[in-house]
Chain A
């Protein structure tokens, strides 16, 4: 790597980039007094000294809270800021947010902001204490600083709405006045955090801090990055995973306006130009020759068979309780059996993957939208050869993540291209590249067998699932035990009382890369289990809601959710012919979520989902506003997959590549969605970004059964013939 001196990012350059980001976020909307999301990183360029690593309070009382998780739409930045602000007793209208610095975290041994990873609905769930302590700690320092200044006993001082008070003498000081002194306070013991009954902000419907820049176009996403002197790259990879670039004739693009270089990568080719559209248009003129890999003949039919066949092969026991095999072999046992299947799915975040990099001999800067800035930092260090502490990750708003922005194949491309052209590079994966080079939700097949007792309740269940290993595919872990939690989540962790219960798993990877997809294993396993439980209810001649209830009697959180959706979803009320209701419930990411779906199936087989009534028990609600958003959005995300989602494989390559073939749900197809909370409190704080994705497919398919008597055992629904026979 040898960037000429004049292209190395100078301090001026970086400052310019930072300022343009901040300047772009200026808010003109007078309707809210709130400050806004400042999404750039200060990296030590703060004008005002920080109070703690989590907080900067300016003399005018503006409070900047540093968020260690990443904002991809799930509202985590607002929720985490609320947790800090609650403890701080500050004026919420003065709060703004910025991302915590990955570089600083790296320099401080990764301990300061911890993993900074945003996956597994982890924002509030895993960082609640860290954020609360950060707020409480700052509040206590401010209080002690005030006591010092007034030379009074700290016990006489209190804190309220951004001020420290000494009520006896009727004196008060603003946080902004106290912050410099508070920063110097040392405490031996960290203060206590509030008990839930003391909350004044947490639990209230609160507008998001990032809304305003997202309605005036000023929110900065990775794709919006502007770095002086940058060039643009478009890239296309070999369609078949495992194939290589053999050769490419550059003649068609030689001398085209703006084209700077054709860069050959191991399994891809990139065109670099002075504008993105020129790079992309030139790329489309190339006809790369690909050397086929080992899987050039693999197609979906073969994969379907392979996963189905695996169900009859060896399994690793993930759960074994009682003796299911004996119960199943009992002569005269009433056995219910079913096989379910799901295809690969793409994440398809609305912002396709992209990143911008500048390489200097001693420093790398990356502008990107990532769920894991620490992984970006490490990957950029590895690919560039620069020490990790000299990598600066400028995380931006993510235009959707859904799991995909946890692994950055586009960054590898960008650094390879930047090395060749010696200029800052913005590399954008066009939609087809983004979709074909996704790391997909894995294909899976499963077989259930269950025995029903005389009372209709299951006495035994045997589950065998064949699915890809995410960890193996990502190269994170060989999973020597053969059991991956994601593969059997829900299947091995559900709360239904079944005395004899056996769960076997075969981790089976094809050459198609797979990874975490919003709600992960729960996304397919909830479809499987909750459809099968419905089958059992019908086989037992029982009402699906009451049947579930009877198997969950020792779980008040599940019962609360079930009763809520049954009540608000008008469970049991008659519906006209062709319409039906279905119910499903799941516990995942520390949260119980249930849904009742109401569908209409036309004589032509067309499915319309009319209404979804959802309830959630995440034990505590930080921001009911963003919880409602996540339920609404999760239902749409999961319904899209249920109705349309499939990535088929042909000649070793994904077939669907854009929204014309990989359809997303539209406004006109979106049901009425009602959200209810059924919070049971206690010690746990549940996740909210993913759980609502899981129950919608089974709720809809169970409703289709209620409407038509047809059981859907394979998604997506668009391939299922539901016409009246």
Chain B
């Protein structure tokens, strides 16, 4: 049995220790907001937060995150009101939307370490791929989310 803490809930799971976290989230827990894109930690579609840090989960064995707080897009905020989600909606970022859970989880973690990011910070910190090319709006939305967060604080 493997114990996982996901979105504040404890799960006892009968899975192999080497099972990738991505597929445990999707297929064992039904949390399908986290996506599969490449399987080799290249694209970031599978990004979640582990103890607040963005992690790509397609190659991450579940055994390595036992006891850590895992947050997926479904658990990012109650009522989907996280500043990053609000900013994403205002800027109308998504096109196909498939990469966006990963982008949002990466951006939310990034803003914790870069509350007032420059464009260069964003270039360095945001490395998830988007085949639809939503990058210009992601950039705008991150600046907006930073502004929203600082207003609140």
Q: Which residues of A contact B (CB under 8 A)?
A: 27-32, 72-75, 207-208, 210-221, 223-224, 226, 232, 257, 275-277, 348-352, 397-402, 428, 430-431, 625, 629, 632-637, 658-660, 664-668, 670, 672-673
CB atoms of B96 and A73 under 8 A apart: yes
CA distance A216 to B81 in the complex (A): 9
- CB pair B135–A636 under 8 Å, yes or no, is yes
| Complexed CA–CA distance, A259 and B27 (Å) | 15
Asked whether A29 and B79 contact (CB < 8 A) given A350-B96, A350-B99, A658-B40, the answer is: yes
Interface contact B126-A207, CB-CB below 8 Å = no
Cβ–Cβ contact B35 & A431, under 8 A: no
What is the CB-to-nearest-CB distance from B125 to chain A, in angstroms, rounded to a whole number? 9
**Cα of A73 to Cα of B16 in the assembled complex, Å:** 36
B131 touches A276 (CB 8 A): no
The answer to the question of B66 belonging to the interface, with a C-beta cut-off of 8 Å to chain A, is no
List chain B residues, Cβ under 8 A from A658: 38-40, 42
Min C-beta distance of B33 to chain A, whole Å? 2
Some 9 contacts from A to B, beta carbons below 8 A apart, are A29-B79, A208-B92, A223-B35, A352-B37, A400-B96, A629-B95, A633-B134, A658-B40, A672-B136
- CB of A211 within 8 A of CB of B138, answer no
- Minimum C-beta distance from A636 to chain B (A): 3
CB < 8 Å: which of B28, B33, B80 contacts A29?
Answer: B80
The reply on B139 being an interface residue by CB < 8 A is yes
| Alpha-carbon gap, A215 to B33, bound state (A) | 9
What separation, in Å, do the CA atoms of A659 and B42 have in the docked complex? 6
A476 to B37, CA, bound (A): 30
Scan B35-79; emit 1 where CB is below 8 A from any A CB, else 0.
111111011010000000000000000000000000011100011
Once A215-B104, A632-B134 are accepted as A-B contacts, the answer to whether A257 and B95 lie under 8 Å apart by CB is no
Interface band, chain B: 35 or more
**B27 close to A232 (CB less than 8 A):** yes
When the two chains form their complex, are residues B89 and A350 in contact, meaning their CB atoms are under 8 A apart? no
Interfacial chain B residues near A219, Cβ < 8 Å: 97
Q: Per-position contact with A for B75-93: 1 when CB-CB < 8 Å, else 0?
A: 0001111000110111011
Of chain A, the residue at the smallest CB distance from B123 is: A668
Asked whether A28 lies within 8 Å of B79 as measured between CB atoms, the reply is yes
Question: B39–A430 contact, CB under 8 A?
Answer: yes
CB of A633 within 8 A of CB of B132, answer yes
Q: Is B2 an interface residue (CB 8 A)?
A: no
Given known A215-B80, A350-B99, contact A31–B90 (CB-CB < 8 A): yes
B26: chain A residues within 8 A (beta carbon): 224, 276
Q: Which residues of B contact A672 (CB under 8 A)?
A: 136
Contact flags B97-139 to A (C-beta < 8 A → 1, else 0): 1111100100000000000000000111011111111111111
Question: Nearest 8 A-B pairs (CB), nearest first?
Answer: A217-B33, A636-B133, A73-B96, A399-B98, A214-B97, A73-B95, A217-B73, A668-B123
| Docked complex Cα distance between A232 and B78 (Å) | 32
Contacts A226-B30, A633-B134, A666-B129 given; does A29 touch B86 at CB 8 Å: yes
A673 to B135 CA separation, bound complex (whole angstroms): 10
Q: Is the CB of A215 within 8 A of B94?
A: yes
CB proximity of A669 to chain B, nearest CB, Å:
9
Are B39 and A431 in touch, CB under 8 angstroms?
yes
Q: Are B136 and A211 in contact (CB under 8 A)?
A: no
Residues of A within 8 A of B126 (CB): 667
Asked whether A277 lies within 8 Å of B19 as measured between CB atoms, the reply is yes
Contact (A216, B39) CB under 8 Å given A257-B16, A667-B139: no
For A214, A428, A658, the residue with the greatest tally of chain B CB atoms inside 10 Å of its CB is A214
Q: Is the CB of B123 within 8 A of A667?
A: yes
* Alpha-carbon distance between A354 and B134 when the two chains are bound, in angstroms: 23
- Identify which of A232, A399, A431, A660 contacts B97 (C-beta below 8 A): A399
**Beta-carbon nearest neighbor of A74 in chain B:** B95
Contact of A216 with B80 at beta-carbon distance under 8 Å, contacts A277-B27, A350-B129, A399-B96 already known: yes
Do A215 and B98 contact each other (CB < 8 Å), given the known contacts A633-B133, A659-B129? no
Which listed residue, B16, B72, B124, touches A217 by the CB 8 Å rule? B72
**Chain B residues near A625 (CB, 8 Å)?**
92
